[in-house]
Structure 1
């Protein structure tokens, strides 16, 4: 039986995967996966908000900008996206995205710079120190507008107890992602 070779990945895709693998191996506590989020996961996250009412947006843990680019495409022309990233290897990739609505914030999500209508988070909460996660959740809670939405994805349900301390939430399962993911749609408690 003859086996066929798999086609080579396009150079840009290959570079993205290589970058993720390197960054995960260097810092698994801050880079939660060896591969970027799937288009299905990004779409599921973005479908949780009303884009006509969303003008200030934050993305926590932007990495190389996979979700960032999709959010920029979807958001209102007058909206602003603050992309938070602490990994110095990912910052240049984010800065290379040519869009005047994007503000790359080379700082931790522990230091949100303003209120937001929507906050997307790709942070690996379960692998981060609890004190850091607690500070981030306080910042999100404090900087989310009263009608805003916080969208967090995780690979397991173990962060539900943590999220319940700060928000009301609903969960959406995304099977078309490696590994399958859970999207948490969080709102401030009334």
Structure 2
């Protein structure tokens, strides 16, 4: 039986959506949605990337690779992408479907120790694909501090949210943040926010 590329892609997307939903059922508070990000949101996140030739991109919360795929399609070489995923089943899925990228299994707050030493300080952009709005402020602080430890001074990180307000406690964490994009095509509609240290 011959399958077209479109049919194979549809099967792969259905499989990814089912796995994502199963992992959401297992731990709903750790995942932002019951479905993977739509292509519109994934492309919007990937469009924010800033990266020098020797710099890498870090993605927090790889899931089933919706944003991962958009990052690669935006031109980031696979070996320059580090994706952090805490769920071992999802991490395994990412390794199988994106064999050229670096999949780091663990807590995003430990990103400094998880990255190779020669990459620390050379992270051009961090894309946060986690439900930050549900995370307590002290845990947000640990994640934000970890992000800025691995990036050059003055850089920004990005996070998406389904809320009308910032997903991160800006004032409490000493951040400046602004909405840089919105898509109604995602379910639910989503905004992308840019964050820098206040005073940067």
TM-score (norm 1): 0.84
For residue 180 of structure 1, what is the aligned residue in structure 2? 189
Deviation at 1:161, TM superposition (A): 5.7
Distance 1:188 1:99, change over 3 A: farther
Deviation at 1:37, TM superposition (A): 0.5
1:119 to 2:123 alignment: no
1:57 to 2:57 alignment: yes
Distance 1:109 1:156, change over 3 A: same
What are the equivalent positions in structure 2 for 1:82-121 lying under 5 Å apart? 82-100=82-100, 102-113=101-112, 114-115=120-121, 116-121=123-128
TM-score (norm 2): 0.80
Encode CA deviations 1:23-51: one digit per residue, 9 max, x unaligned.
11110111111111011111111222345
Whether contact under 8 Å (2:65, 2:94) holds in the other structure is: yes
Deviation at 1:145, TM superposition (A): 1.8
Encode CA deviations 1:64-120: one digit per residue, 9 max, x unaligned.
1111122123234486111001011201111113443x1110011111133311000
Range that drifts further, 82-91 or 140-149: 140-149
Distance 1:130 1:13, change over 3 A: same
For residue 3 of structure 1, what is the aligned residue in structure 2? none
1:128 to 2:135 alignment: yes
For residue 149 of structure 1, what is the aligned residue in structure 2? 156
Deviation at 1:166, TM superposition (A): 3.6
Structure 2 residues without counterparts, runs of 5 or longer = 1-8, 113-119
Distance 1:54 1:124, change over 3 A: farther
Distance 1:149 1:37, change over 3 A: same
Number of corresponding residues: 181
RMSD, matched Cα:
2.3
Structure 1 residues without counterparts, runs of 5 or longer = 1-8
1:18 to 2:18 alignment: yes
